[in-house]
Chain A
Amino acid sequence: MGLTQILVFAAASLLARLLFRPGGYARAWGWLLLIGSALAIFWLQPAVPIRNFDFYFPTATLTLAVLGWALTAPAETRGARENWIAGGVLAGVVLAVALTRHLSLNGLLTPTRPPQTWTVLAVLAAAALISWLLARFTRPGARMMTAGVAALILLFALVKTPALAQVAAGGLRGLMGQDAGLAQATDLRWLGFSYVAFRLIHTLRDRAAGRLPAVTLREYLTYVIFFPAFTAGPIDRLERFLKDLRAPAPLDADSAANAGRRLLTGLFQKFVVADALALMSLNASNAGQVQGAGWLWLLLLAYSLQIYFDFAGYTDIAIGLGRLLGVRLPENFNHPYRKPNLTQFWNNWHMSLTQWFRAYVFNPLTRALRSRGSLPVWAIVLITQLATMLLIGLWHGVTPGFVLWGLWHGLGLFVHNRWSDWIKPRAAVLNASPLLAAVLPPLSTALTFVYVSLGWVWFALPDAGLAARTLLRLFGIG
């Protein structure tokens, strides 16, 4: 989200809340949120080198969301009249965006001119047919849910693995009559897909476990594409989101002040602090140019702060916009750099993501390994921490750098877990010394910060070899 888009969203949200009192027009408010979010995801999608895909990526997002609902909705509610209306409204929004090609206002809602109307109609007809077939002939059983999750993971791997993404981009370029030889992995800039995939997997898994509440197509779509959280989270849970969607928090002076404070804080963090730090942060260009370890540490410090303020800033903006609309999105950051150990760091950094992984990877995997009964505790901890953090790394991209970053943290969490177990019986001795009691907490916090910062080297530098050399140079080696 750019500054202009954020300001337009804030003004539009405020205006909408003043004109439509959700208490009085609950249903109208729900439709407004869906239509607004659907239009917003077209507007937010950046230009891509593959012709018309700045239009087709948001269309694909909406299609995926409809398919997700068709798979998860209880069979008896699928044919309800409101769901047909929601499908029609959504098709109408897509068609309306497509029809902007006939206006001379290029870039009104999409960065480039939308595709031919008949092509869009054909795509909409195909999406509708697949959705109808799924809704008509499937039942939300465990097999269907697993198949849905597998399909999403495959799509995720395709988009996030550079080699596969390049092949896919070549195919799409060929389909659009462009030179496939010019395809790059970065051509697949599908905005919001990472977060949409996680929301969809959450609903599929919860449906399989019988925990998912029954929702209409409108509610489900609004949850998946809710525009304040579309690009950078937080990843809300459907049942929590529903409460606010069905009964939005009133926009009184207190909540307006709170929303304004979050928005202003977020804007300052992102567009002043993070963007300023970006000029002096560690990156692929300067990592090999720095003339001494001391300077390298400074650039790394700048990067650690930049990534925090950038992400926390966007989260504040999302939460602020959400509150203007009466939706209390979950918190994502709680002073993570002030935490005294790596476990607490991860309990307070990108919290909605870590909670997602805890619910759907860490806990089930731990339960599965414990039930076997053959592995010692330390091995279970090692496997679950490494597997979870590896997947979090892969969620950012299927590259050696992100894999190593995940392993770095998995290993760190394992070491901290073992250390905690070892130190617990000795804590009384340590606490008896006033000096140790005073020194250890800040020392632990500093050590955690340094470990996390060193981990960012794998994250910031796309070339794992350069990252390894940079890590050594930080300690004066090489």
Chain B
Amino acid sequence: MKTEPRILFNALWKGVILFLLANLLFAALQPGGLSRVSVYHSVFPGRERLPFGENIQRSYNLSLYDLDAMFASLALRPEKPADEFRVLVVGDSSVWGTLLRNDETLPGQLDALGLTACDGRQVRVYNLGYPTMSLTKDLMLIERAAAYQPDLIIWPVTLQSFPRSLQLESPIAANNRAEIIRLTKKYGLVLDTAGLPEATFWERTIIGQRRALADLARLQLLALPWAATGIDQDYPESYTPAARDLESDASFAGLSGPELPADALAWDVLRAGMAAAGQTPVLLVNEPILISRGDNSDVRYNFFYPRWAYDAYRAQLAEMAAAEGWDYLDLWNAVPEERFTNSAVHLDPQGVGMMVELLAPRLTCDR
């Protein structure tokens, strides 16, 4: 059958008009429901930790900024069995478990203990950690955690998550402008949200959102290799160990000490996090750090922290926890140097096990 030029031209211009209309509609309506459509739980099992990864082909995982899609991919569901005592662990990469398999992470090892809570319910522990250090990022996660009926939230923190200047540096915070502004208003946070870019109309169209849409599709496609292998990060054959020999530089986040001004750290965000948990008890944990014995270890504990800053932070955190009546556990020196892997806060499975021994009694009547 011959195609007339007119038919060809008509098909072309109608196609272009339809595509433009679809873009305009998408930009105007911003169909957020799309993010909650997930093959996880329906076709494939849910993930045991939030999606994060750079090498898609090896990790069967990827980093995206769509919180709805990320939570929809988790094994954690809003419904909770009556006999479950639900514990959610929020935090940074040390909770998420860089270089660790799911059963080696802090939540994984706590869950594997098969603990029974004081009221007889079975303790189930879920991983809500996410790599990148920012209390504001943790606050976003705790706010969402409320929908999952937690009975206890464990919140390991470290000084690197506190500097006010770094709060919005975490890509997931920087790319969730509306959520950050909402939290800033709700809790009266002192955060410079003016620097967060607002999406233009063009950026809200299908073309403008193509990266986010492609990431959403990729997350669904990666459900098969994740389910088939149980692997969700790239485990390199070797890695560069965290530095033990340190620079003599004593500065921290632009400060040179010896005083650590209270407004340099985002204490308001920490308070907001504790408040966001509502009636759910929170166990605040100062997580273990690598205490080096190498060069200049009299100046610094590790790559992240000069001694003056970290000591001041610990004192201020303990003081605030006592003043606020928070349940607080300081585990800063609970793990020996050799149990740290590629960062001053990343532990190997044995190191995590030491932490677990100290935390487990808090989940039962043994405390």
Interface residues of A (CB under 8 A from B): 252-254, 256-258, 276, 279-280, 283, 285-286, 289-292, 295-296, 298-299, 302
Contact = CB atoms under 8 A, between A and B. Distances in A.
A286 B4 contact: no
Contacts, number: 54
B3 interface: yes
A255 to B, nearest CB: 9
A280 B57 CA distance: 9
A361 to B, nearest CB: 36
A279 B3 contact: no
Contacts of A254: 2-3
A291 B5 CA distance: 55
Contact of A276 (B2, B7, B221, B227): B221
A290 B222 CA distance: 14
A286 B8 contact: no
Contacts of A258: 3
Interface residues of B, number: 21
Contacts of A276: 217, 221
B4 A279 contact: no
Given A253-B2, A280-B225, 11 more contacts: A256-B3, A257-B8, A276-B221, A279-B221, A280-B222, A283-B57, A286-B228, A286-B229, A289-B231, A290-B228, A299-B224
Given A253-B7, A254-B3, A279 B228 contact: no
Given A253-B5, A254-B3, A280-B221, A296 B56 contact: no
A286 B61 CA distance: 13
Residue among A279, A290, A296 having the largest count of chain B Cβ atoms under 10 Å: A279
A286 B5 contact: no
B229 A290 contact: yes
A256 B8 contact: yes
B225 to A, nearest CB: 5
B293 interface: no
B218 interface: yes
Nearest to B230: A291
Closest A-B pairs by Cβ, 8 of them? A295-B228, A253-B5, A289-B229, A280-B224, A257-B3, A254-B3, A279-B221, A290-B228
Interface string B55-70: 0111010000000000
B58 to A, nearest CB: 6
A276 B229 CA distance: 18
30 contacts: A253-B2, A253-B3, A253-B7, A257-B3, A257-B8, A276-B217, A279-B56, A279-B57, A280-B224, A283-B57, A285-B57, A285-B58, A286-B225, A286-B229, A289-B230, A290-B228, A290-B229, A291-B228, A291-B229, A291-B230, A292-B228, A295-B224, A295-B228, A295-B229, A296-B228, A298-B224, A298-B228, A299-B225, A299-B228, A302-B224
